[in-house]
Structure 1
């Protein structure tokens, strides 16, 4: 049975943020709000939690999970980026984008794509998620909360609680989020490649206007 925290979306209560981080550190899988839809997240070093997260979402080992980071100061620990890539990422973060980048050797193999050695990185623009990342002191592993067989992400914390309370350890109610997934951009090649259109403009990547 999951816990359910109502957290202020602009001024998150410190007590609840600390409790949420404790649940994550104890191996919990949580649903939390982002600047796109709700996401599932867990501790990046907890293999059992990562496997549970994949089961809930119906994702196999080949499907990329994303690292949620506080800011770009953590980028070099997990991804190899050149100046061009860095400037592009910096221009649109924090924001509703996941960037597919080449993973560094420090990234555990189970977190990177098994054949391509890539990693997804995201700097979310949401006070609750950023507060959790700040308190945790390291990235979270996350994925957009889209249920198996469905195409739209979940954005209502009450619905998430009703459907997943037996599978999650915590649902953080930060109010309704947009019902759009994050936009995924692959930056591993010469030019940006759109992997999934979602919330956010594609214009900065030379891929057209708003998704």
Structure 2
């Protein structure tokens, strides 16, 4: 059964952050808050955990469009090809924030994603998320947890999320009520930004 860990965004308790990340580092799956919806994730360097997430989402891992959640833009060059100054300015203005930016991936992508030419990058404006990533030392995979209810697309109550997921994942972070609007997705791989999905992030960036 999953561990249920309460964290406060103003000041996430380092001991509890470490407890959660010890589970993730050991290959565990985590549900955590962001500045948009609650997300399912794992360590991007753990292939077995990545396979589990792909199975839950019912997709083949090589084709999965999982985003990488980074602590800040300093992680960027680890996985993204060199970008021009215009692209960097957009990222700097918008992040941290409720956006997923699709960028050209480089050769350092984890083995399972090597065939992908691009990667979705998130830097959420949420202290809990960034504290988790910082403790881990590399990005966490992010994929939103959908609700089967046709009316409510995303569950916002962490206790209800725990009830539903406690036998599927290894740790659920309660960071308070989540949002029910996903991130805005913008493709920056071409010469002009292309809106893929309008979400919580403003288009004025």
Show the counterpart of 2:165.
164
Per the TM alignment, residue 136 of structure 1 is displaced from its structure 2 partner at its CA by 1.3
Q: 1:43–1:140: 8 Å Cα contact kept in structure 2?
A: yes
Cα deviation, 1:21-45, whole Å, max 9, x if unaligned, reads 1001000100000000101110111
Equivalent-residue separation in structure 2 for 1:203 and 1:83 (angstroms): 18
Which SS does the other structure have where 1:203 is aligned? Answer: coil
> Normalized against structure 2, the TM-score is what?
0.92
Per the TM alignment, residue 189 of structure 1 is displaced from its structure 2 partner at its CA by 0.9
Mapped pair 1:105 → 2:107: yes
Which SS does the other structure have where 1:135 is aligned? Answer: helix
Which SS does the other structure have where 1:110 is aligned? Answer: helix
Q: 2:7–2:175: 8 Å Cα contact kept in structure 1?
A: yes
Show the counterpart of 2:90.
88
**RMSD, aligned CA:** 1.7
Show the counterpart of 1:135.
135
Show the counterpart of 1:208.
none
Q: 1:58–1:148: 8 Å Cα contact kept in structure 2?
A: no
Equivalent-residue separation in structure 2 for 1:60 and 1:159 (angstroms): 28
Show the counterpart of 1:207.
none
Per the TM alignment, residue 182 of structure 1 is displaced from its structure 2 partner at its CA by 1.1
Number of equivalences: 202
Cα deviation, 1:38-97, whole Å, max 9, x if unaligned, reads 011101111111111122223334231111101111111111221111111111100011
Per the TM alignment, residue 159 of structure 1 is displaced from its structure 2 partner at its CA by 1.4
Show the counterpart of 2:74.
73
- Structure 1 segments unaligned to the other structure (5+ residues): 205-211
Equivalent-residue separation in structure 2 for 1:56 and 1:9 (angstroms): 27
Query: Would you identify which runs of 4 or more consecutive aligned residues in structure 1 move more than 4 Å?
Result: 147-151
Q: 2:54–2:64: 8 Å Cα contact kept in structure 1?
A: no
Q: 2:44–2:50: 8 Å Cα contact kept in structure 1?
A: yes
Equivalent-residue separation in structure 2 for 1:92 and 1:119 (angstroms): 17
Which SS does the other structure have where 1:75 is aligned? Answer: helix
Alignment of 1:110-125 (within 5 A): 110-111=112-113, 114=115, 116-125=116-125
Equivalent-residue separation in structure 2 for 1:58 and 1:97 (angstroms): 24
- Structure 2 segments unaligned to the other structure (5+ residues): none
Which SS does the other structure have where 1:4 is aligned? Answer: strand
